[in-house]
Chains A and B, each alone.
Chain A
Amino acid sequence: MAGILAPGLGVLAHLERLENQMSRSRKQSEEPQSVQAQERVLGTKIQKLRHLRDDLKAAVRHRRGSVKACIANVEPNRTVEVNEQEALEEKLENVKAVLQAYHFTGLSGKLTSRGVCVCINTAFEGNLLDSYFVDLVIQKPLRIHHHSVPVFIPLEEIAAKYLQTNIQHFLFSLCEYLNAYSGRKYQADRLQSDFAALLTGPLQRNPLCNLLSFTYKLDPGGQSFPFCARLLYKDLTATLPTDVTVTCQGGEALSTSWEEQRASHETLFCTKPLHQVFASFARREKLDMSLVS
C-alpha cells in the first residue's frame, strides 16, 4: 500500500508547496493597501456601534422614567379594573337571582346534555311547598329519563296522554296534579299539627290525601257529641273536596240546633280549606269561652 501512495504523496506535497509560495507572494504585495482599507472599515464599524450604544442607553433611561411615572399614577388605573370586576359580579348575582325567581313561577327548567330537567315548585295559599323534578330526553319519541314525582301521582297516565303530542299540556297537567296534591297534603298536615286539640282520634289519610276521615269536637273538654267527617276529593286537580259527609257520633236524633250545625259544617268543609275551617272553630271556641268567663 505504501508504495502506491508514496508517489501520490510526493506529487501532492509539491503542489501544496507551490500553492503556499504563490499566496505568500500575493499577500506581501497586497499588505499595505488592504490593511489600511481594513482599518478604515473597522473604524466606521466602531463608530456605528458607539452610536447604537448611545441610542439604546438613552432609550433605557427614557423607559425607566416613564415607568416611574406610571407607578406614581397607579391608583386611578387599578380602580378601573376593580370597577369592571364589580360590574361583572353584580351581573352574575342578577342572573342568579333571576334564575331563582323562576322557582316562584312554579315551572322552571335547565337544559341538560340530553334534553331538559324540568323543576315543578308547588305552592298553596302563598306558601312554597315541595319541588319535583322530571328529566326529559329529547329524542323521538320524547321520554322521561328519571323523576322525583311520588309513585301515587298518575305520571305514566299523564305522559301517555300528552307527552308525545303536546308537551306544554303534559307539563301543565302534571303541575296541576302536583300542586293539588301538595295543597291537600298541606291542609292535612296543618290539621294534624295545629288543631290536634280539637280532634278526638287520629286523622285517617291516604297517600294522595284524597280521602280524609276524622272525628272532632267543637268544645274539647265539654259534653257535646263529637262529629265524624269524611272528605272525598274525587278531582285530583282540586284542593277542595267533592263530597263531604258529617255525622254525629251520638247516633240519636239530633236537636235542630245540632242538625243546623252539622249541615253548616258540611258546607264549610266543601267551600273552605280544611285548616281554615278548624281555625274558625278554634276562634269561635275562644269567643264562647271568653263570653262564659
Chain B
Amino acid sequence: MDETVAEFIKRTILKIPMNELTTILKAWDFLSENQLQTVNFRQRKESVVQHLIHLCEEKRASLNDAALLDIIYTQFHQHQKVWDVFQMTKGPGEDVDLFDMKQFKNSFKKILQRALKNVTVSFRETEENAVWIRIAWGTQYTKPNQYKPTYVVYYSQTPYAFKSSSTLRRNTPLLGQALTVASKHHQIVKMDLRSRYLDSLKAIVFKQYNQTFETHNSTTPLQERSLGLDINMDSRIIHENIVEKERVQRITQETFGDYPQPQLEFAQYKLETKFKSDLNGSILAEREEPLRCLIKFSSPHLLEALKSLAPAGIADAPLSPLLTCIPNKRKNYFKIRDK
C-alpha cells in the first residue's frame, strides 16, 4: 500500500468520532467481518487506528478504496460542507433521457482526465437515485490533493446537481462542463440557493417539502386541528385581542403550512435602489446613483424563525413576500433593483 494512501486513510479514520466508527467501517465494506472482529474498539483511538491501517495494508487498499471511505465520511457529515445548487437545461428537440450510469461515469471521468492529467474521480451510488462524485484536483504537473476534494451529488434523469463549496474555484467551469456533457445536457447554471443542509436543499429544489395532501380518506377535518395557539383554555379569561391573534395564526398557516420547514441558515438581499422619500428636496432623494446595501438574515433555522415572527408579535402579518417566497422561488440570494 502506497504511503500516501496509508496516510490518507489514517487521517480520514482519525476524523471519524468513535461512536460512528463501526457504522462507517461497515458501510465501507472493505474490511471483512472477521477482520473487524479482531479490532478492540475500546482502546485509545490511536491504537485502534493503527490496527485498522495494518488491516488495510493486509488487504492492499487502493487510492480508490480510500476515496470511497472519504465519500462515506462526508455522507455522514454532510453539514460540515456548504452546498450550492446547479440546474442544467437540455437543448431544444433533444431526445428522451436514456440515462446509463456506466456511460455517465465513463464520460465524466474521461472529460476530467483529458483536461487535467492528474485527477482522482470516485463514485458512490445511493438508493435515492443519486450518485455522489468525489473529485480530487491536481494539475498537469502535480498530483491530486486528496485533502481538498470537491463533492457533487447528481440526481440522474433530473436537471439538478449539488456541489460542495470550495475555495478552488478555477475548476468549477470544467466540472460544470463534465457534468453537462456526461448527463447529456446543454447548459448549466448556478442557482441562487445555498445551505449546509443537503436534504433541505433537495426538498426545496424538487418541491417536496410539503407532502400532506387532502384526500377523502383524511379523517381530521382541517378546521378541527388546533392552530397551536398557546391561549389559556380557562373560560374566565377573556383575551381582548383574540380576533387579531386568530387572524395572525390563520395567515401564518396559509403562508407556511403545517409541515416542517426546510432548513436554511440565511437569506441575503442585495439592494441597489434609489432613495425614495416623501419629503422633497432632501439630499438623498436628489442623488442620481442608486444606494447599495446588503441585508443578511441569519438563523440556525431561518424559515422556522420567520414563521414564528408574526405569532410572537415581532412582525406584522402577512410578512413581506420577499421573505415568504424563499422556498417557492428556490432562492436565498436576492438582488433587488429599481424597475
Contacts and interface: CB of A to CB of B under 8 A. Distances in A.
Interface string B155-190: 111101000000000000000000000000000000
Interface in A145-162: 145-148, 151-152
A179 B102 CA distance: 27
A243 B213 CA distance: 38
B147 interface: no
Interface string B117-160: 00000000000010000000000000000000000000111101
B156 A236 contact: no
- Most chain B CB within 10 A, of A99, A151, A207, is at A151
A146 B207 contact: yes
A206 B210 contact: no
B215 A117 contact: yes
Contacts of A152: 129, 155-158
Contact of B214 (A112, A148, A234): A112
B242 interface: no
B200 to A, nearest CB: 15
Contact of A135 (B96, B155, B208, B213): B213
- What is the predominant secondary structure among interface residues of chain B facing chain A? loop
Interface string B85-118: 0000000000111111110000000000000000
Interface string A224-252: 00000000101110000000000000000
User: Which residue, A133, A135, A146, has most C-beta atoms of chain B within 10 A?
Assistant: A146
Interface of A: 96, 99-100, 108, 110, 112-113, 117, 119, 133, 135, 145-148, 151-152, 204, 206-208, 210-211, 213, 232, 234-236
B156 A207 contact: yes
B209 to A, nearest CB: 8
A136 to B, nearest CB: 11
Contacts of B101: 204, 206
B129 A207 contact: yes
A146 B129 contact: no
Interface string B198-228: 0000000011111101111100001000000
A121 to B, nearest CB: 11
Given A117-B214, A119-B215, A148-B213, A208 B207 contact: no
Interface of B: 95-102, 129, 155-158, 160, 206-211, 213-217, 222
A119 B213 CA distance: 9
Among all A-B residue pairs, the 6 with the closest Cβ atoms: A152-B157, A133-B213, A207-B129, A146-B210, A99-B216, A206-B99
- Which of B157, B209, B217 counts the most chain A CB atoms within 10 A? B157
A133 B222 CA distance: 18
Contacts of B158: 151-152
B100 A206 contact: yes
Highest count of chain A CB atoms <10 Å: which of B96, B206, B208: B96
A99 B215 CA distance: 10
A101 B208 CA distance: 28
19 contacts: A100-B216, A100-B217, A108-B216, A112-B214, A117-B214, A133-B213, A145-B210, A146-B211, A147-B207, A152-B129, A152-B156, A152-B157, A204-B101, A206-B156, A207-B155, A207-B156, A208-B97, A210-B98, A235-B96
Given A112-B214, A117-B215, A234-B95, 9 more contacts: A110-B214, A148-B213, A151-B160, A152-B129, A206-B100, A207-B99, A208-B99, A211-B99, A234-B98
Nearest to B211: A148
B241 to A, nearest CB: 25
